[in-house]
Structure 1
Amino acid sequence: MMVTSELREDGIRVVTMDAPPVNALTVQGWFDLAAALDEAGRDLATKVVVLRAEGKGFNAGVDIKEMQHTTGFDALLGANRGCYAAFKAVYECAVPVVAAVNGFCVGGGVGLVGNADCIVASDDAYFGVPEVNQGALGAATHMARLVPQHMMRTLYFTARTIKAADLVQFGSVLEVVPRDQLDGAAMKVASEIAAKDGRVIRAAKAALNGIDPIDVNKSYRFEQGFTYELNLMGVSDELRDDFAGTEKSKENK
């Protein structure tokens, strides 16, 4: 399974992504992740969620190979709807979500952590939104929650990445630790939250979402509209083919 969910006795629910080789989720994977987070919020025994990943990176976004190997637009529409559902599920989860980020966190990964309540990262972690390389737009809404406006625009237009250590100065990443200490660091923060009265924490999550200056769901949906336009123009398909061909060449070496 690409997504698993385990509730510990202390009320910490651990949701893990595991989709080798790079945790690029399929359409079903995104919906499964959304379902796991929705379930966590509904379960009153859950006090906090730790969102983590197995493998060499946290999340590489959508599975472009699935998209290019699917006839018509079903995979494209599914990926857009799945990402929207998963990002929304993180943001609207009734309890805080602590993201434990290792290695690469790009594209859809930024959408997930940008909507999380707390981010802990390993010292090899980095973030980026390479969507422009594949003829898509999206996750600027979420990158804007990690870095200041001009930095977000630079990262977005250039498809550059930024190290987790550099995000600490902006306050978006709580701390950076060695890779083998990441789970422990995330659990430490989660344990502090889980020790509080769950009723208060759930009320606090709703209150903080209520005073958020930006509606992240509408903002991301607006971005997706431009992705649809680029697909209708044929630009996105052309760039995805180039990307898929490049990745296949790398695998054959």
Structure 2
Amino acid sequence: MTIDSPKDDILLRIDTNGAVFISLNRPDKLNTLSEAMLAALQDQLDDIAQDPSVRCVVISAEGRGFCAGHDLQEMRSNPEREYYQALFKRCGKMMQSIVELPVPVIAKVGGIAAAAGCQLVASCDLVIAARSARFAVPGINVGLFCSTPAVALSRSISAKRAFDMLVTGDVIDAETALDWGLISSVVDDVELNDAVAAKVEKILSKSPSAIRYGKSMFNPQRQMSLSDAYDFAGNVMAENMMSHDAGEGIDAFLEKRKPTWEQPTR
């Protein structure tokens, strides 16, 4: 099944073979996270979370930049503490929804990912970036410490490197982002589409249930003590072992044949 969104939508979506491709569509505004964009993203993430047929999500963007962060013009037109608190809470919920999705989320990044755009990158499970991509949390340059982006950033790279980016506003290139662990791979710009397609294809070739077990375990255990993490992971793995796909996969390995995975249904 393929679902295409109208090109004039603020967010574009294509569904195909269990993968959902979402693209930010405010190229004239460098895909800033306006209130409307946050709401559209939240709606899509909520829908995906309830759909067992979805097996992978890709977040990309139209135009020359990935995402320049919050819409500063919109923010300045609403100079009230309550408005800002609600805005950042809404943004934080959306970022957490990405982390909590039961399937892998890949960021496909070209151009600049700044401030909340860098936060969006850091919130995804995998990040494939074009060599020309750039990353920054430059709020400090306009008198604003990027506090909410710092939450995702400091959970993706080391605390000292994250703080350095936050207090200097410096832009880092894709190779540096790869070295620091903010992104998972860098490819030449002309290879970005193929690299993302290959990653999606590889994920779709794996057991759908095993991928969901893995996503449900991976992020929560990172916040636990070592002993609690092993207890939690052991219980998840035991449950996974009871699934059809684990039995089928192990039998196929022993019998030297290709496994037939159980296909998810709506």
User: With structure 1 as the length reference, what TM-score do the two structures score?
Assistant: 0.78
Counterpart for residue 234 of structure 2 = none
Which runs of 4 or more aligned residues in structure 1 lie more than 3 Å from their structure 2 counterparts after TM superposition? Answer: 70-75
Contact 1:26 1:79 in 2 (8 A): no
Deviation (angstroms), 1:179: 2.2
Identical positions, percent: 25
Secondary structure of 1:139's match?
helix
Contact 2:60 2:108 in 1 (8 A): yes
Contact 2:136 2:170 in 1 (8 A): yes
Deviation (angstroms), 1:78: 4.1
Q: Which amino acid aligns with 1:119?
A: V
Per the alignment, do residues 200 and 154 of structure 1 end up closer, same or farther by CA in structure 2, a change over 3 Å counting?
Answer: same
Secondary structure of 1:124's match?
coil
Counterpart for residue 210 of structure 2 = 200
Secondary structure of 1:24's match?
coil
**Separation in 2 of the partners of 1:75 and 1:164?**
34
Deviation (angstroms), 1:186: 1.4
1:166-245 residue pairs with structure 2 within 5 A?
166-213=176-223
Counterpart for residue 174 of structure 2 = 164
Contact 2:114 2:135 in 1 (8 A): yes
Q: CA offsets per residue over residues 184-222 of structure 1, 9 Å max, x none?
A: 2112112111111211111110010220238xxxxxxxx
**Separation in 2 of the partners of 1:121 and 1:68?**
31
User: With structure 2 as the length reference, what TM-score do the two structures score?
Assistant: 0.75
With a CA cutoff of 8 Å and minimum separation of 6, indicate the structure with the bigger relative contact order. Answer: 1
Q: 2:155 aligns with which of 145, 155, 158?
A: 145
Secondary structure of 1:166's match?
helix
Contact 1:147 1:172 in 2 (8 A): yes
Q: 1:115 aligns with which of 123, 141, 148?
A: 123
RMSD of aligned alpha carbons: 1.8
Kindly tell me the number of residue pairs found equivalent between the two proteins. 213
Contact 1:123 1:165 in 2 (8 A): yes
Contact 1:145 1:172 in 2 (8 A): no
**Separation in 1 of the partners of 2:160 and 2:79?**
38
Counterpart for residue 27 of structure 2 = 20
Counterpart for residue 251 of structure 2 = none
Structure exhibiting the larger radius of gyration computed from Cα positions: 2
Q: Which amino acid aligns with 1:53?
A: A
Counterpart for residue 61 of structure 1 = 69
Residue ranges of structure 2 left out of the alignment (5+ in a row)? 1-8, 225-266
Per the alignment, do residues 72 and 144 of structure 1 end up closer, same or farther by CA in structure 2, a change over 3 Å counting?
Answer: closer
Counterpart for residue 236 of structure 2 = none
**Separation in 1 of the partners of 2:56 and 2:198?**
12
Q: CA offsets per residue over residues 155-206 of structure 1, 9 Å max, x none?
A: 1111111111112223442221222321221121121111112111111100
Deviation (angstroms), 1:20: 2.6
**Separation in 2 of the partners of 1:74 and 1:133?**
24
Counterpart for residue 218 of structure 1 = none
